Amino acid sequence: MKRLGFALALFALGAVPSSATRETLVVTAIPERTVVVVLFDGFAPAELDAAHPTPNFDRLKREGAWSRHLVPAFPTVSLINHTTFETGCWPEHHGIMSNIFVDPKAGRRFGGDNNGDAGDGAWRTGCETMWEAAERQGVRSAAFNFVGRWSSKTGYRETYYNPEVQWKQHESDDTIVDRALKLLKDNGPNHARLIALYFSIPDHVAHQYGVTGAETQAAVREVDAITGKLMAGIKALPPGREGTLVVGTDHGMMDVGNLVNLGRIMRENDIHAQQATDGASAFFYLDKGESIDRVETALKQYPDIFSVYRKGHYPAYAHLGTGPRSGDLMVVTHPPYWMAGPELFPAWTDWVGMNWLWPHTFKAFTVPLKATHGYDPAVVQMHGIFYAWGAGVKPGEIKRLDQIDVHPTVMRLLGLQPGRPVDGHPIAAVSAPQRGCVGLACLHG
C-alpha cells in the first residue's frame, strides 16, 4: 500500500510524463507462491498403471509436468533417497549410505535394529534439507513425517513440524493431510510457504502383495485421494497467493524371486566382517586382520547371484564415496534375487541349519515378500513417478530426472537459492515466481 500511495503521489506532483509520451501506469500485484512437496514411498509407475480409477493423477498428467523416470540414488532404498530427495545431494555428500550401514568412526550402526534414530538429522555429514535452506532465506517451512526434520544436535529446523517418533508410530496419513490443509488456509504473517509431507504408502503394501496386487491397487487409490485433497487445498488458497504441488517418490518397485542366503555364504567362506544388508545390496566392514583379497575372491564365486565391488572401485552409478561409512566391499544382487541380513530371521532358522545347510538362494517363507527394490538404478523398475502442477509449471512429459534434481526444482519454484552444497539442477519445466513491477517501474519495461 505504501508503494501504491507513492505512485499516486507522483501523479499529483506531475512526475508522470505528459500525454504525448506517457505509457499506461500499471500497478501489478504479484501473488505469493506456496509449494507443497509430497514424497509417497515406493511409488512405481507400474503400480499407478494397474490402479483404476486415479482421476487426480490423470489431472496432474493433463495439466502439469510429469515423468515415469525419477531415477533414485543407489542403493535404491528408502532412507538414502529420502535424504537425497530433501537435500539435492548424492550420498557421498550427505552421508546416508543405505537403510542400514555402519559408521566405524562413531562405532554405531544406522538402521535395522537401531532404526529408532534413523530419522535423526545428525546422521547427515553435510548438505541442507529444502526446509533448512528455505528458513535460512527467511521463508517459513513445514515438514511432517520426513526423516531429517529433527536433529539431536540442533533440534527442529523448520517452523512447523510434528514430533519425531519411532517409525511405526508416525502420525496417520489423514492427520498429515489435515495439518497441510490447515497451513494452506493460514494467511497470517508467519504462514508456511514450503510444506513437505511424507507418506509411507504404497511401499509397505506392495512389498507384501506385489506391484499389481489388489491391495496395492487400493493403496494407490488412497494416494490418489490424498493428492486430490492437496490439489483442492492449493486451489483454495487465499487471495493474493498461488500454489504448486510437487509429487515424487524415493524409488520404484519390482516383483522378486529367491532370497540370497547371505548367512550361509559368509559361514562357508569363514568371512569375518560386519554386514549391513537391505533390499538388493550388502556392505561388508571387515574385521581387523581379515584379508580383503581373500573375501573378495570368495564372494566372486557367485557371479550368477551378485556382483562384487571393492571400495574405491564401486560402479559409476553408486555415488557413495570412499569414506568409512561405505563398506570395504559391496555386493549388488541381480534381479530377481534379493537380500536380507541373517539377523532379521527368527533364531530357529539357524537351529534348523539355514546358515549351514540351506541353499545359497531359496524362497523365503519366513519373511513374506513379493516385491522389493534396491537394485542398480539402470533397472527401469527402480524408477519412480514425478509430477509438478500449478503455478510456475510448464505442462508436458519429462523424459528423465535424478533424485538430486527435486530439491533445486522446489527451491526454484519458491524463488530461492538451493541448499549449500547441492548436486542437482532444477528441471526446465519450472520457473521462479514473477518478480513483477510496481508503479513507475512498469512504465518502460
Q: Which domains does the chain have, with CATH numbers?
A: 32-253+376-414 (3.40.720.10), 259-369 (3.30.1360.180)
* Cα–Cα–Cα angle for 346, 171, 166, rounded to 5 degrees: 40
148 phi-psi bin (left φ>0, alpha ψ -120 to 50, beta other): left
Q: Do the beta carbons of residue 234 and residue 243 sit within 8 Å?
A: yes
Which residue stretches of the chain have pLDDT < 70? 1-28, 113-116, 366, 436-445
The string of pLDDT tens digits covering residues 269-314 is: 999 999 999 999 999 999 999 999 999 999 999 999 999 999 999 9
Strands (E), 78-135: 101-103, 108-110
Distance in angstroms (rounded) separating the CA atoms of residues 396 and 399? 10
Could you tell me whether strands 259-260 and 361-362 are parallel, antiparallel, or unpaired per DSSP bridges? antiparallel
- CA nearest neighbour of 263 among 273, 250, 255, 249: 273
Count Cβ atoms within 10 A of the Cβ of residue 195 and give its class: 0-12 exposed, 13-18 middle, 19 or more buried: buried
CB-hemisphere CA count at 13 Å for 115?
14
**Integer Cα distance of 257 and 339 in angstroms:** 11
pLDDT for the residue numbered 443: 44
Gyration radius of the chain's alpha carbons:
25
CB neighbour class for 225 (10 Å; exposed up to 12, middle 13-18, buried from 19):
middle
- The grid coordinates of residue 347 equal 533364531
Which residue in the block uniquely carries the three cell numbers 544406522?
Answer: 110
Provide the 10 A C-beta neighbour count for residue 4: 12
pLDDT at res. 436: 59
